[in-house]
Structure 1
C-alpha cells in the first residue's frame, strides 16, 4: 500500500461526499465510511449481510452470535481478562455519555456519524485538503493504519489483530513520516503555512493578522470552558470567534487539553493567577510526546489563555528522542540549533493586550523523565498515555507521589481510565480515588473501536493523580 494513494483516495471520497450533500438527494450507501465490526469475544470480523448483536443491558460490546454473547458473560476472552458480567454495569453508565458526545460532533458542519456510530477524522480532513503525511503543515502525520510510531521489535496490534514487526515495518515505510519533520527547516511555519486553511478558519497566533483578535481572557464573559460555551447555539468557537466550519478542533485538542489539565484538573494556576507586576512562573513536563511535534506553534494558545505567565514546557518521549537523532543530520535546522544552544525550540509571547505571557518549549533527549529530586517541575502532564499499558509509567507514577508533583493525563475511554485508576494501588500499596472527568476539549468524534460502542475519544477523559497513603517501596 502506498501512503499517498491511500490519502488521495480518502480525500476524493470526502470531496464526492460534499457534492452528494449539496445535491439534496438521499445519500447513497456508498458514502457510509463505517469500519468493519469485530466480535468482542471471538475477535472475528462480522461482515454484511450478517448483523452484529449487542449486549441487551449496556449496548456496548458487539458480538457475532448468541453463543459469543453467553461466552463473554462468564468466560474471559483472553487469559486474565475481566468478564463482561463484571463490566456490564459500568459499561451502561459509560454509554450514557454517548448522546452528549455525538451532539458535540454534530454541532460542527464537518461532523458526521457513520452507521456504526464512529467518526472519520480523515474524511473530515479530506474536505479541507489537509490529509496526508509530510508536507501538510500542522496536519502532517503518519496516518493510515499505523498512526503511532513503533518502538521496539515486538508484535504490534491493529484493530486488536496482532501483526509481526516485519508487517508493521512494511506499513511504516508506506506511510513514512517523521513527527516534527518541519522542525528540520530553518524557520517555523507561519500560521497560513501550517494550517493550510482559508484565513477565516485559522486561529492565528500572530493576532495582528486576525480580524477576530482575542482579548485579555479575563475579560471574556463566561471564561473558556469548552469548544463552545453555549452548545445549544453552536455559532462559533466563542473564545476565538471562529466559525464552526473551521476544523481547528481536530488539532487544538492537544494544547487545549494541556490547558484543561493545568487549570481545571490540577488547579495549579488560573487565568487570574498572574498580574503585570507579579507574573506566574511554571515549569511543566509533557510526557509521551509524538504527534505533538508536528504542531508545536499551536501550544502558544496556552500563553493567550493564561495572562501574565512565564511557561516552560519540556517534552519527553521516544518520538522526541527519535526526532532529535534525525536532527543531528540537519545542523542548520531549528532543532539542531536549539539543541546546541540550549535555547527553546519554539517561543511565543502574547501581545500586551492579551497579557504578555511567554511559552518556551524545549525538547528532552531522554526517552522519558527520570525522577530527579533536583529538577522537580510544577506539574507533569501527558495525552492519551495508556498508563497501565506501558511499564515505563510505573516509576514515573511512584516518583510523582514521593516528590509531590501534580500529575494528570488524558485517556481515550472512561473504562480504560477507571481500569488504570484501579491499577495504581497495585503499584503504590494503597491509594485514595483519583478524579476522572470527561474532557470538554476532547477531539470531537468517536474513534474507531470495532468491538465496542463506548465513548472513545482522542483526549477524551482526564485522570488526575491522587494523594497516596503509602509510597512505592524503594522510593
Structure 2
C-alpha cells in the first residue's frame, strides 16, 4: 500500500502504515503527509467510508480457495504467483499473464496457437455443456453448476473476461436476448492482458448460443505487428486428459457454418481514431470497456463523446467502486447526462484481490459495472 500523499511534495518517510481515521481506506507514511493530503481527501472520505462498509460483499465468493485469494492476499500471505504455483499453473500457457512473472510472447504467433487449460477435464470447461444455458446466469455458483465444475477449479480467474461480457450485455439489454439476428457485434475497448488469454473467450459460444460473435478489440496495447490480425475461436482450450473427447473433435468443424464461432479482430490505437476503419465491418450492437479507468486517462474523453453520438449501449467496468464513481462524473461532464446503467457490483468479477492496490478497499478485475 502506497502513501496516499506520495509525490505531492516532501518524500515519504517510510511505509504507509497510518490509515485515515475517517474512512480507513487510504494510508499515509506520516502524520504530516496525512495533514497535507486532507484538502484533496476530504471530498472523497465519506464516500470511501461507505464503500468500506461493503468489504465483506466484495470478498464473497463461493470457491474453496476464496480465503486464499482475498484475506490472505490482503495480509500478504499469498500472491498471485504463489497461488498459481499451488495450482501447478505458474508461467504456463494462458495462465502466464496472470502474474508479474509474465513473459514476452509474440502476439501474432499466440493468436494462431491452440491452447490448453493445463487442468484435468473435471476442473475445466473443455467441451460443450451437458445442459442448455439457464435463462440468465447471475453468479459464479450458478455458472459452475451449469458447467459441472467443482468449486475448487481456478478457471474463474480467466473466465471472468467472457462472463463479464455476457453479464454486462444482459444488464444493458434488460433481459432481452441479444443476437436475435444470429450475429452479435461487440467493440471491445482497451484490452491488455486478455490479449494473451483469448482462447478463454471461446466460452462466449455457449453463453450466446446460436449466435456468431464478432469482437473488434481496440487499444494502444495491441502491438504494431498485431494490428489487423484476425482469429476464429471455434472450440475451447483443451484439458490434460489424453482420452477426453476434446482431443478428438473434428478440426474441420472450424469451417462448418453450423458451428457458431467467436470471430476476433485486433485494432491498434484509440477507438475514436480507428472508428471509421472498424465500422466498415458493421456497427456494433454493444461497446464494452473492461477495467476502463475513464477518470485516469484523458484519451477517454473523445471516445466518450463518440459513443454519446452512436446511441449504442456501452458497458464499462473498473477495479473499484471509487474508480467507477470518478468515471461516472467524467461521463456526466462530457455527455451532460447521468449513467444509463447505474454503478453495481459484477457477480463475475475476477475472484482474486488486486495486490498493492492504491486503496484499502478490496479491488478486483472487472469489479463494478456502469454504462451509458
Rounded to whole Å, the distance in 2 between the matches of 1:202 and 1:371 is: 36
Structure 1 position 238 matched with structure 2 position 145: yes
Residue 259 of structure 1: CA displacement? 0.8
Structure 1-normalised TM-score? 0.64
Alpha carbons of 1:240 and 1:46: their partners in 2 closer, same or farther (altered >3 Å)? farther
Unmatched segments (≥5 aa) in structure 2 = 237-248, 250-257
Structure 1 position 126 matched with structure 2 position 28: no
Rounded to whole Å, the distance in 1 between the matches of 2:222 and 2:300 is: 17
Cα RMSD (Å) of the superposition? 3.0
Which residue does 2:233 correspond to in 1? 347
Moved >6 Å (runs of 4+) = none
Rounded to whole Å, the distance in 1 between the matches of 2:348 and 2:50 is: 21
Q: Which digits, 9 at most, give the CA deviation of each residue in 1:213-235, with x for residues without a partner?
A: 441113x7xx4111114xxxxxx
Residue 454 of structure 1: CA displacement? 1.4
Q: Which of 28, 33, 44 is matched with 1:87 structurally?
A: 44
Which residue does 1:68 correspond to in 2? 33
Local SS of the residue matching 2:334: helix
Rounded to whole Å, the distance in 2 between the matches of 1:368 and 1:107 is: 40
Which residue does 2:337 correspond to in 1? 431
Alpha carbons of 1:365 and 1:420: their partners in 2 closer, same or farther (altered >3 Å)? closer
CA contact (8 A) 1:347 1:358 kept: no
Rounded to whole Å, the distance in 1 between the matches of 2:331 and 2:364 is: 22
Residue 252 of structure 1: CA displacement? 0.7
Residue 448 of structure 1: CA displacement? 2.0
Alignment of 1:107-256 (within 5 A): 107-108=64-65, 110-111=68-69, 113-114=71-72, 116-117=74-75, 120-132=79-91, 136-141=92-97, 143-144=99-100, 175-179=103-107, 181-185=109-113, 188-189=114-115, 194-204=116-126, 206-207=127-128, 213-218=129-134, 223-229=136-142, 237-256=144-163
Rounded to whole Å, the distance in 1 between the matches of 2:124 and 2:13 is: 40
Which residue does 2:173 correspond to in 1? 267
Residue 464 of structure 1: CA displacement? 0.5
Which residue does 2:221 correspond to in 1? 319
Higher RCO structure, 1 or 2 (CA under 8 Å, sep 6+): 2
Rounded to whole Å, the distance in 2 between the matches of 1:180 and 1:94 is: 41
CA contact (8 A) 2:320 2:364 kept: yes
Alpha carbons of 1:39 and 1:101: their partners in 2 closer, same or farther (altered >3 Å)? same
Unmatched segments (≥5 aa) in structure 1 = 1-36, 75-82, 148-174, 208-212, 230-235, 326-337, 466-475
Local SS of the residue matching 1:224: coil
Which residue does 1:54 correspond to in 2? 19
Q: Which deviates more, 443-452 or 357-366?
A: 357-366
Residue 289 of structure 1: CA displacement? 1.8
Number of residue pairs the alignment of both structures matches:
340
CA contact (8 A) 1:411 1:460 kept: yes
Q: Which of 342, 365, 370 is matched with 1:458 structurally?
A: 365
Alpha carbons of 1:416 and 1:357: their partners in 2 closer, same or farther (altered >3 Å)? farther
CA contact (8 A) 1:117 1:453 kept: no
Alignment of 1:93-112 (within 5 A): 93-104=50-61, 107-108=64-65, 110-111=68-69
Alpha carbons of 1:397 and 1:439: their partners in 2 closer, same or farther (altered >3 Å)? same
Local SS of the residue matching 2:261: strand
Q: Which digits, 9 at most, give the CA deviation of each residue in 1:114-144, with x for residues without a partner?
A: 3745662222111122222xxx222132842
Local SS of the residue matching 1:448: coil
CA contact (8 A) 1:39 1:45 kept: no
Rounded to whole Å, the distance in 2 between the matches of 1:298 and 1:120 is: 23
Rounded to whole Å, the distance in 2 between the matches of 1:282 and 1:397 is: 22
Residue 349 of structure 1: CA displacement? 6.8
Rounded to whole Å, the distance in 1 between the matches of 2:315 and 2:70 is: 30
Larger Rg: 1
CA contact (8 A) 2:331 2:338 kept: no
Q: Which digits, 9 at most, give the CA deviation of each residue in 1:348-393, with x for residues without a partner?
A: 2799xxxx77233222344233334764211111211212333332
Which residue does 1:13 correspond to in 2? none
Rounded to whole Å, the distance in 2 between the matches of 1:464 and 1:282 is: 18
Rounded to whole Å, the distance in 1 between the matches of 2:290 and 2:225 is: 19
Q: Which of 264, 271, 275 is matched with 1:362 structurally?
A: 264
